[in-house]
Every structure is written in structure tokens, then in C-alpha cells.
Amino acid sequence: MPDALGPWPLDALLADTAQYCPGLRVEYVPSIDSTNSELMRRARAGSADPVLLVAGHQTAGRGRLGRTWVSQTQGHALTFSLGLALEPRDWSGLSLAVGLSVARSLHPELRLKWPNDLWYAGRKLAGILIETVQGPAQRYAVIGIGVNIDEPHAAGLSVPPAWLRELLPRFDAPAALACLVGPLLRDIRLFEHQGLAPFLPGFRARDLLHGREVVLSNGASGTAMGIDSGGGLLVHTPAGMKTITSAEVSVRAIDHGVGPPGTEA
């Protein structure tokens, strides 16, 4: 079961989040299979409580589209999941709003690679995995975020990694969590009430793919033309403009400024 929050800034986190998520419980575990998996298990067992679950280390971290989030040693990455009941009118674009919120909190030089990766200098710094469970009254969202803090030494990464200490040498995982959680909850509530519209200009300003040639995992290719009002990726293809939704495909840029040829996002 969860430990006490040890070196993590429990009191500060609760103070920062109280107005957006009263009753939020903050838990720290030194090691777990996956913070997303744990909150999904609890939600499927009927828990709808708001929880922030932070792990020192994950043994079976998960990424989007069935991929693995490669485990780092303790403290090398910030890995946490936020579970809470949400009632947005339209869920599409939540991952974009979350990515933008995290990027804004961490550093002005971070870019967003649709739908929800944070990149720095042509490499991936952070990823987001959002899953939901339908409860009796509301849908419960589990929003998982992994941020590389130190240089990952894990083998088998599908894209070249970036890490936060390249930009902020004095930051550690608790400091990163402390600076992003309050704004994240504020932005999730903003999304719940106003949808993606308030986030569109910010996403567009950090859109890594805009104007680049991209290849989709369904085989199509074209030029990324930004996002539409629902958060779909607009791709100009020989067959016309296509709107890509995140559930369908992954996308890789074929421009060396984004990632080397053959890497997957």
C-alpha cells in the first residue's frame, strides 16, 4: 500500500490543488507496475475518489497505443497518474490541453508533438496516457504523465530521449511535480468547463509538427497543417485534407529536426 509522501511536497501539493480538486488524496509508492494500471484497477473496482498517485519507479509502465513506457531507475523520471471524475461536454482534445499545461509549467522551449508528447531539441521529454472508466454517475479519467528528469540509460527507446535537467539542471522529480500539479488541475477544470478552445492558441504556438511532412501509422503521408477545433491533426495528403484522431494512428515526422527516420512517436 502507499507510503507516506517522504521527500515529496505533500502539503504544498494539497494547497495548490484544493480549489480545483477538494479532497484530492496524494499518495507516493516507491515502486509499482504502473500508476495508470493501479488507478484503473481501483476505478474498475468502484472507486471514484480523486487521487494523485506518484511512483518512484514503475516496473510495467505503459504508453499510448499499447507501447511500453520504459522504466527508469528511482528518481530518473517523474511518473504519476491523476485520477478524477470529469464531465466535459466533449472529451476530444483533453490530451492536448494536458500536454500544453505541462509544457507551460516546465519550460518555454518545450514543444508539443501531437497528440500529447512533449519534445525538446528534436527528442522526446515526456509522454501522456489518458484512460477512462465509466462510473455509475460520471466518467472517471486516469491521466498518466511521465517526464524524463535525468538522461535515460534504458535500452530499447523508440525515440531519442530528452531530459529536464538539460534545461533545468537543479530540478528533481519532486520539484517538477510541485510546479506542474496546481496548473494541471486548474487546466483540467478549464477544459471540463470550456473545452479545448482556450488551449488552441497555446497548442498552435508550440506545435512541433506544423508544416512538416509526416507519415501516419496507417500508411498515409502528407503535410501537417495544425489542429482543428476538436484537437484532430490536419494533414494535407494527395487525397485531400484529412483529420486524424489520436485513437487511430501514430504519426512520425520525416524531417530530421523532429526525429530520425524510422523512429516512432
Any catalytic annotation for residue 242? no
Task: Round to whole Å and give the CA distance between 103 and 119.
Answer: 9
By C-beta, is 63 or 93 nearer to ligand BTN? 63
On whether the CB atoms of residues 145 and 176 are closer than 8 A, the answer is no
Q: Which residue in 62, 64, 113, 123 is the catalytic one? A: 64
The H or E element spanning position 40 is helix 35-44
Task: Reduce the DSSP state of residue 251 to 3 states and report it.
Answer: strand
Q: Are strands 25-29 and 51-55 parallel, antiparallel or unpaired?
A: parallel
Q: How far is the CB of 60 from ligand BTN (least distance, A)?
A: 7
Size of the site for ligand BTN (CB under 6 A): 20
3-state SS string over 93-135?
A: CHHHHHHHHHHHHHCCCCEEECCCEEEECCEEEEEEEEEEEEC
Among 83, 93, 115, 127, the residue binding ligand BTN under the rule CB under 6 A is 127
Q: How far is the CB of 241 from ligand BTN (least distance, A)?
A: 26
x/- contact string, 54-93, with ligand BTN (CB under 6 A)?
A: ----x--xxxx--x-x---------xxx------------
By C-beta, is 62 or 76 nearer to ligand BTN? 62
Say how many Å lie between the first and final Cα of the chain, rounded.
33
Any catalytic annotation for residue 89? no
Give the residue numbers annotated as catalytic, written as ranges: 64, 124, 252
Contact positions vs ligand BTN (CB under 6 A): 34-36, 58, 61-64, 67, 69, 79-81, 117, 127-129, 144-146
